[in-house]
Amino acid sequence: MAIEIAAQQFNSTSTLLLHVSDSNSSNQLRSTSDAKNLIDWGAEVIVSTVPWPEADTVAVLGGQAKIPVLSLAANPPLALAPRPFLVRVSYPDSGQVQCLADLVKSYNWRRVIALYEDDAYGSIYATIALLSNYLRDVGSDIAYGAAFPPMGSLPDPKAAVRRELERVRRQLPKVYIIVRASSLLTVHLFQEAKRLGMTAKGHVWITNDDITTLFDSALPPSFLSSYMQGVVGIKIYFNETTDSYRDFHTKFRQGYESSYGKEGEKYVDPGVLALRAYDALRVIARAASETAKQRKTLFEGILSCQFTGLSGPISFRKDGSLAEGKGSPAFRVVNVVGKSYKELGFWLKGSGFVNEVGDMGLGRPAVDVLGPVYWPGGPWRVPGGWGRQRIGVPARTAFDQFVKVEYDETGKVRAVTGFCIAVFKETLKRLKYDLEYEFIPLDGTYDELISLVTLKVLDAVVGDVTILAKRSANVTFTQPFLGSGLSMLVRVKPDHETLMLTKPFSKAVWALIFATLIYTGIIIWYLEHEKNPEFHGPWWTQLGATLWLIFCSIFHAHGTVYSCYAKTVVIPWLFVVMILASSYTNTLSSIMTNQKLEPVVDHRKVGCDGDSFVVKYLQDVLGYKEQMIEKLRAVENYSKAFESGNITAAYLETPYLPVFLSRHDGYAVYGETHWLGGFGFVFQKGSPVAADISGAILELNEDGTLKQLEKKWFSFSLSNCPSPDYNDGKTDSLSLDHVWVLFLFTGGISTTVFLLFIARLIQRNLTSHQQADAPPGERFRRLLRSLMSKSKKLWRSMMFWEKNEAQLSSVPITPSQGENGIAMGFGTTNNVEIEYHDDDLTAAGPPPHHG
């Protein structure tokens, strides 16, 4: 139709005699036969409308006959063998393939499935290889390629399409790109896809220009609304606002209706192939005109043509390929909505996506995402391209705060809740796309659930699943959203210690206190015994007075001290006593307030939740024998097992411990924590969804959302393992490291004062003996006898004080004897010497001389 319109229009400037051969077949022999017939007829130029590689066969024949061949078919992306008389009025497929890859990139789809119709020559594989390279450059790849045989060669095309779609449906990605398809394959493909549920919510369909062009011709509106809702397609851009296009559009529609009538529910609009055919005739007409004027060959005249046609800029390189001008190639991006489609934007090679046609080629920044898009199933939110995910959840867990499945009266699942479910739903809000899913509660161990993911029965498992190296070999775990480990749970009893009052100080400190007490008492007695009347009497009286003075100082209620030396000793001692008393009171108060619980540790029988990994860990790592392990499933079974004596300890994962301890009293965590990989979500091996979920989990952790979820579901933090509630008792007591300076202070002062007192006494005695006329040796011997005599008198005065008093009272004393005794300082009564001093340092000396 387009060629006839062009011939009628351009016959005014040049004579074009058309000979049309209806070669709509992809049979290469048929194309070869038609081309030979045209050459035999005397054709000077051939316009080929057949697809590649049939067009290449026609070009070979044209080259042999030295007749130009204008091909309207899109070229394969690989380098072509030289065809000297071939002129290509279309751009290579590389631009269309690059546009498809950029579309995938803009919505962050990691994996896609390519669908294409093969031919007898395998020409499509070069295009698939190029698409794979472009997708790899944008961070995606082709997970599966669905090749359909040529529809015309199949006895039952619908059945063949259905079989291949069954295989496609089992693949994880749900982003389908149709790279090449005939109109027959397009109809069967979307009809069977809808029947199999592959056009539902969560799926993505992207079509190339071959199919998108059919929206205006072969595919009626009822088909679009019934089978292709939400499909996104690209079609080659051409300017529909020029006068030349409007004129051609009117003639095309009138001519089509007069020849074929109205095509069902809508008018048929010309596609890009019709525009290329029109431009090809225009090229021939201009070349014929130039040839007549400048004596060029027709082929040279064709290559020299340069104008803006209906399909875009027209100019050719020397090899006959269409030169890429400004704004070429360009594509429209459309979206099927209702019985028609709407325009989303435009793509220009080298520039990317733009929203308005006027923005193309102006250097304005490209947009990342076109929109809004009506996707299959109706949502405007971008699908994840993974379809409806089948997510398994444990139907029964030991602690339902993590995962809880609620059922209605009929046994159907009413709701799936819990902390793990809340975390998963929160991560979905952080994704850039919409992930459709359904929860499937399943009984069994966690390893059994994970095996269903490995077998691709499930797409994922969400719950309190522990990350283990063995499990990671067959599946992909997300970033852990909660740390975990194994800890021992034991019963506890109050620590009623008999000597609780001695706990503030260690044994060494107590020993040093009593030693310092005795030492200080001796020093004070020695310094006070002569002047203090409380220190007179027998030894037991003096000892009692000394101890009473020292002990009373502890309670700040001591007696009178007469000697200045003794006062110097007592003051530091009182300071040390004050500090020790205050420390004792504070430490004892802390011990009594935080009374410790004593763990009851017994490894004879331990319980666990029955998960195969916990049992294996207890056996292989911790060395428990099988008969020592009791498997428990429900949380209430733990306390019953403890009370009945079936278990003496239990191993729980750290996130469960705060939950258990919040419900039950009399239990504590004992021993070290054996750390594991944490809780994570399970996905199929290599699933890009796991990486996206991991990134969302990191965001939740960084912005504090995970902490908020913990507070919502629990009244405590799950992030930290409870610390053991027991103590060995050593850290509560004050040791020598804390108080040794105090004892050094008081002991040092006491010793220093005592030495000063002795030194002063020796000095006075030396001064007294130096007055006598005696050699130095004799004076030293007298001093030594004086000190020994003083010590003996001190001892005797303690032992025989009462007896001396009785004897003294019965002996008469004359005035002269009293004066002499007092003057000399010594008296003898029954061989007992008594000395009287006016002060502490009075020494025996010669009697005074009376005149």
Q: Dump pLDDT digits (tens) for 42-93.
A: 778 888 877 777 777 787 888 888 888 888 877 665 556 677 888 888 887 8
* Confidence at 787, pLDDT banded by 50, 70, 90: low
| β-pair partners for 346 | 332, 354
Q: If you average pLDDT over residues 769-791, what whole number do you get?
A: 60
In the three-class reduction of DSSP (H, G, I as helix; E, B as strand; rest coil), residue 475 is classed as strand
Question: Taking a C-beta distance cutoff of 8 angstroms, is the pair 769, 783 a contact?
Answer: yes
442, amino acid identity:
L
d(CA 431, CA 812): 118
Question: Which of these, 384, 393, 383, 388, lies nearest to 453 by C-alpha position?
Answer: 393
Mark whether 141 and 260 lie in a shared domain: no
Proportion of the chain above pLDDT 70, given as a percent: 74
Q: If you average pLDDT over residues 177-188, what whole number do you get?
A: 91
d(CA 392, CA 386): 16
Question: Which of these, 604, 651, 598, 650, lies nearest to 628 by C-alpha position?
Answer: 604
The more confident residue out of 767 and 380 is 380
d(CA 607, CA 615): 9
| β-pair partners for 846 | none
CA atoms within 13 Å, Cβ hemisphere of 658: 19
d(CA 178, CA 200): 17
CA atoms within 13 Å, Cβ hemisphere of 318: 0
Question: Which of these, 389, 330, 373, 378, lies nearest to 354 by C-alpha position?
Answer: 330
Residue labelled with tokens 């008296």: 827
In the three-class reduction of DSSP (H, G, I as helix; E, B as strand; rest coil), residue 528 is classed as helix
Encoded tokens for 742? 């105090």
pLDDT at 616: 85
SS3 letters across 488-505: EEEEEEECCCCCHHHCCE
Structural domain includes residue 188: yes
The more confident residue out of 148 and 35 is 148
The more confident residue out of 318 and 42 is 318
Question: Taking a C-beta distance cutoff of 8 angstroms, is the pair 501, 701 a contact?
Answer: no
Q: If you average pLDDT over residues 187-207, what whole number do you get?
A: 92
The neighbour count for residue 26, using CB atoms within 10 Å, is 18
**53: preceding bond cis by omega (within 30 degrees):** yes
Mark whether 217 and 352 lie in a shared domain: yes
pLDDT at 727: 47
Structural domain includes residue 663: no
d(CA 718, CA 704): 14
Mark whether 525 and 409 lie in a shared domain: no
Question: Which of these, 349, 287, 345, lies nearest to 324 by C-alpha position?
Answer: 349
CA atoms within 13 Å, Cβ hemisphere of 282: 23
The neighbour count for residue 658, using CB atoms within 10 Å, is 20
Task: Among 356, 380, 404, give the residue marking a domain's end.
Answer: 380
The neighbour count for residue 265, using CB atoms within 10 Å, is 10
Mark whether 108 and 64 lie in a shared domain: no
| 820 pLDDT more than 70 | no
Q: Return the exposure string of 595-634: e unless at least 16 CB atoms fall within 10 Å of the residue's CB, then b.
A: ebbbbbeeeebbbbbbbebbbebbeeeeebeeebbbebee
d(CA 23, CA 33): 10
Q: If you average pLDDT over residues 649-655, what whole number do you get?
A: 86
Question: Taking a C-beta distance cutoff of 8 angstroms, is the pair 583, 572 a contact?
Answer: no
Question: Which of these, 368, 348, 371, lies nearest to 360 by C-alpha position?
Answer: 348
Q: Which of 117-121, 420-424, 467-471 has the highest mean pLDDT?
A: 420-424
d(CA 152, CA 209): 21
Q: 361 in the Ramachandran plot: left (φ > 0), alpha (ψ -120 to 50) or beta?
A: left
Question: Taking a C-beta distance cutoff of 8 angstroms, is the pair 441, 405 a contact?
Answer: yes
CA distances in angstroms from 91 to 95, 318, 329, 602, listed in the order given: 8, 15, 7, 81
pLDDT at 75: 64
Question: Taking a C-beta distance cutoff of 8 angstroms, is the pair 652, 431 a contact?
Answer: no
* Confidence at 819, pLDDT banded by 50, 70, 90: very low
Q: What CATH number does the domain containing 439 carry?
A: 3.40.190.10
pLDDT at 49: 78
Q: Return the DSSP state at 790.
A: H
pLDDT at 757: 80
d(CA 145, CA 139): 18
Encoded tokens for 284? 């021939």
Residue 275, exposed/middle/buried by CB under 10 A (0-12, 13-18, 19+)? buried
CA distances in angstroms from 467 to 99, 474, 478, 666, 683, listed in the order given: 40, 12, 9, 31, 12
Alpha helix locations (H) across 664-800? 688-702, 705-713, 736-769, 776-799
pLDDT at 818: 38
Rounded to 5 degrees, φ, ψ at 498 are -65, -45
| β-pair partners for 342 | 335
| β-pair partners for 741 | none
Structural domain includes residue 654: no
Question: Taking a C-beta distance cutoff of 8 angstroms, is the pair 67, 287 a contact?
Answer: no
pLDDT at 825: 33
Rounded to 5 degrees, φ, ψ at 728 are -85, 0
pLDDT at 516: 82
Mark whether 64 and 105 lie in a shared domain: no
Q: What does the mean pLDDT of the chain come to?
A: 77
Query: Which residues have a Cβ under 8 Å from the Cβ of 81 and sit 6 or more positions away?
Result: 56
Q: Return the DSSP state at 180.
A: E
Ordered strands of the 232-236 beta sheet? 141-148, 111-117, 175-180, 204-207, 232-236, 330-337, 340-348, 352-354
The more confident residue out of 764 and 130 is 130
d(CA 787, CA 766): 11
Q: Using only C-alpha atoms, what is the Rg of the chain?
A: 54
Mark whether 110 and 78 lie in a shared domain: no
Q: Dump pLDDT digits (tens) for 738-750.
A: 888 888 888 888 8
Structural domain includes residue 491: no
| 782 pLDDT more than 50 | yes
In the three-class reduction of DSSP (H, G, I as helix; E, B as strand; rest coil), residue 254 is classed as helix
Q: If you average pLDDT over residues 315-324, what whole number do you get?
A: 82
d(CA 135, CA 780): 113
CA distances in angstroms from 832 to 793, 808, 828, listed in the order given: 9, 10, 5
pLDDT at 809: 41
Task: Among 346, 362, 380, give the residue marking a domain's end.
Answer: 380
Query: Which residues have a Cβ under 8 Å from the Cβ of 525 and sit 6 or more positions away?
Result: 535, 542, 543, 546
* Confidence at 165, pLDDT banded by 50, 70, 90: very high
* Confidence at 261, pLDDT banded by 50, 70, 90: low
Q: Dump pLDDT digits (tens) for 508-534.
A: 888 888 888 788 777 777 777 666 666
Mark whether 514 and 468 lie in a shared domain: no
The more confident residue out of 850 and 716 is 716
Mark whether 106 and 209 lie in a shared domain: yes
Question: Taking a C-beta distance cutoff of 8 angstroms, is the pair 511, 739 a contact?
Answer: no
| 194 pLDDT more than 90 | yes
Q: What CATH number does the domain containing 64 carry?
A: 3.40.50.2300
| 626 pLDDT more than 70 | yes
What is the domain range of residue 520? 507-587+736-835
Domain count, the chain: 4
Question: Which of these, 525, 174, 638, lies nearest to 376 by C-alpha position?
Answer: 174
Query: Which residues have a Cβ under 8 Å from the Cβ of 704 and sit 6 or more positions away?
Result: none
Question: Which of these, 173, 175, 270, lies nearest to 230 by C-alpha position?
Answer: 175
Mark whether 518 and 411 lie in a shared domain: no
d(CA 165, CA 197): 11
Structural domain includes residue 337: yes
In the three-class reduction of DSSP (H, G, I as helix; E, B as strand; rest coil), residue 141 is classed as strand
Mark whether 361 and 424 lie in a shared domain: no
Q: What does the angle CA 109 – CA 175 – CA 214 come to, to the nearest 5 degrees? A: 125
pLDDT at 595: 58
Mark whether 412 and 362 lie in a shared domain: no
Q: Dump pLDDT digits (tens) for 665-684.
A: 888 888 888 888 889 999 99
Structural domain includes residue 815: yes
Question: Taking a C-beta distance cutoff of 8 angstroms, is the pair 132, 111 a contact?
Answer: no
CA distances in angstroms from 841 to 160, 361, 757, 792, 798, listed in the order given: 128, 117, 9, 17, 19
Mark whether 467 and 583 lie in a shared domain: no
| β-pair partners for 436 | 388
Encoded tokens for 168? 């496609």
| 802 pLDDT more than 50 | no
- Beta strands 232-236 and 204-207 are parallel
Structural domain includes residue 821: yes
Structural domain includes residue 616: no
- Beta strands 313-315 and 306-308 are antiparallel
d(CA 614, CA 447): 11
Q: Return the DSSP state at 590.
A: H
